[in-house]
């Protein structure tokens, strides 16, 4: 097991990365409350819920669970209320702990519930997808979706700990694994050119689920995110770089209906669009764009959007959280391995990028 820490001034919390981490020791060290609510979904619950319930009960905890339907389309206020219903039904108090046992959707909803229930209770992330292990479980951004925009309603809520168990990835479907690789590639593109080279050298083995390589890439991504969050916890500056491809990708998700495209699939296309706009700005070459497309394809990710009218695509982008004083800011690439937040782009180039990176049908 390897341990990283997210340093937040007077506060810090650990990220544990390893195999078979579903142990009494970690849970005992980071769950000091007597009441524990495990929030999971109906895909994960049959596989992992019972073992965590039994372990916590062995520790003398009062354990309840809230099982949500699986999927991005259920990441909304109505289903968030199911968590509050469960907490109140079981008479949980403000000393309770919420455990997020699942992927990014479960982590986001559990964290938001923890931020809001009785004005804040403790929570722990146990991410069960590659995407959540390398990205969404770390950093404390929690939210639910609105029909007009993704992650528009939420709060910052840091976990007490993140337990990234590589063993759970054995049951992860191939499509979900690929979606997680989009966020991995994002870290390389936005700030680590050497990591991009490493991914290019090892992609075939990674996609064949080489456990040692996967542990290395999870560690590297978490180290990048921990460093950025330590500098900018509430996204006032550098942390926005973590949204490379996301403004474009969120537009695809919102237009197609949440869950039709996996988050990582939409972000993959978004990164291609960001690279294309960067090239039109004169910052990177067409060869660089080809390199971005190639690494994404090797991870079995799409590089073209579904066919979406440009005006509708732009309307979705206008709801992005990075819009300030009515002006859209985007994360673009000065070079592969270095991203910036900028409003310096030609609106007509943006329209060109959207129209030229679409397919006739969903990829």
Q: Which of 150, 246, 255, 316 is catalytic?
A: 246
Residue-level pLDDT at 363: 41
Query: What does 108-157 look like in DSSP terms, one character per residue?
Result: HHHHHHHHHGGG--EEEEEE-SHHIIIIITSS-EEEEEETTEEEEEEEE-
Of residues 151 and 120, the one with the higher pLDDT is 120
Is 25 tagged catalytic?
no
**151-179: pLDDT as tens digits:** 889 999 999 999 999 989 988 999 999 99
Q: In percent, how much of the chain has pLDDT > 70? A: 96
Q: What is the overall mean pLDDT for the chain?
A: 93
Q: Which of 176, 183, 233, 253 is catalytic?
A: 183
CB atoms within 10 A of CB 148: 11
Q: CA 138, CA 245: separation in Å to the nearest integer?
A: 19
Any idea what the Cα angle at residue 78 is, between residues 76 and 84, rounded to 5°? Answer: 105
* Residue whose pair of structure tokens reads 């990283």 in the numeric block: 4
Is 146 tagged catalytic?
no
Q: Which of 157, 220, 255, 263 is catalytic?
A: 263
Is 78 tagged catalytic?
no
Cite the beta strand spans of the chain per DSSP E: 2-8, 11-18, 35-41, 62-68, 97-102, 122-127, 141-146, 149-156, 162-165, 330-335, 338-342
Is 119 tagged catalytic?
yes
**52-92: pLDDT as tens digits:** 999 999 999 999 999 999 999 999 999 999 999 999 999 99
**Among 22-36, 130-144, 248-262, 284-298, the least confident range:** 22-36
The closest alpha carbon to 142, from 95, 108, 99, 193, belongs to: 108
Is 79 tagged catalytic?
no
Is 24 tagged catalytic?
no
């Amino acid at each position: 097991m390897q341990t990283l820490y997210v340093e937040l001034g007077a506060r810090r919390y650990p990220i544990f990365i390893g195999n078979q981490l579903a142990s009494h020791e970690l849970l005992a060290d980071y769950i000091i409350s007597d009441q524990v609510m495990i929030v999971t979904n109906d895909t994960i619950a049959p596989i992992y819920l019972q073992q965590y319930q039994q372990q916590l009960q062995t520790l003398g905890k009062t354990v309840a669970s809230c099982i949500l339907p699986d999927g991005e389309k259920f990441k909304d206020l109505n289903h968030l209320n199911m968590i509050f219903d469960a907490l109140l039904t079981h008479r949980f108090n403000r000393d309770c702990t919420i455990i997020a046992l699942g992927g990014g959707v479960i982590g986001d909803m559990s964290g938001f519930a923890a931020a809001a229930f009785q004005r804040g209770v403790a929570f722990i992330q146990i991410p069960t997808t590659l995407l959540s292990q390398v990205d969404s479980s770390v950093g404390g951004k929690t939210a639910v979706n609105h029909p007009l925009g993704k992650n528009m309603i939420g709060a910052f809520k840091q976990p007490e700990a993140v337990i990234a168990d590589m063993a759970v990835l054995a049951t992860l479907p191939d499509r979900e694994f690929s979606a997680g690789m989009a966020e991995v590639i994002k870290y390389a593109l936005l700030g680590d050119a050497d990591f991009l080279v490493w991914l290019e050298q090892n992609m075939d083995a990674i996609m064949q689920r080489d456990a040692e390589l996967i542990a290395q890439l999870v560690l590297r991504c978490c180290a990048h995110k921990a460093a950025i969050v330590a500098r900018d916890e509430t996204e006032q500056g550098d942390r926005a770089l973590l949204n490379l491809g996301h403004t474009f990708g969120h537009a695809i998700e919102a237009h197609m209906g949440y869950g039709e495209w996996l988050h990582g699939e939409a972000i993959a296309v978004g990164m291609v669009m960001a690279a294309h706009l960067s090239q039109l700005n004169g910052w990177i070459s067409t060869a660089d764009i080809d390199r971005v497309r190639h690494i994404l394809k090797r991870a079995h990710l799409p590089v073209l959007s579904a066919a979406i009218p440009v005006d509708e695509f732009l309307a979705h982008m206008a709801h992005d959280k990075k819009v300030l004083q009515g002006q859209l800011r985007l994360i673009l690439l000065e070079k592969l391995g270095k991203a910036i937040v900028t409003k310096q782009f030609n609106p007509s180039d943006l329209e060109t990028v959207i129209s030229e990176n679409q397919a006739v049908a969903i990829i």
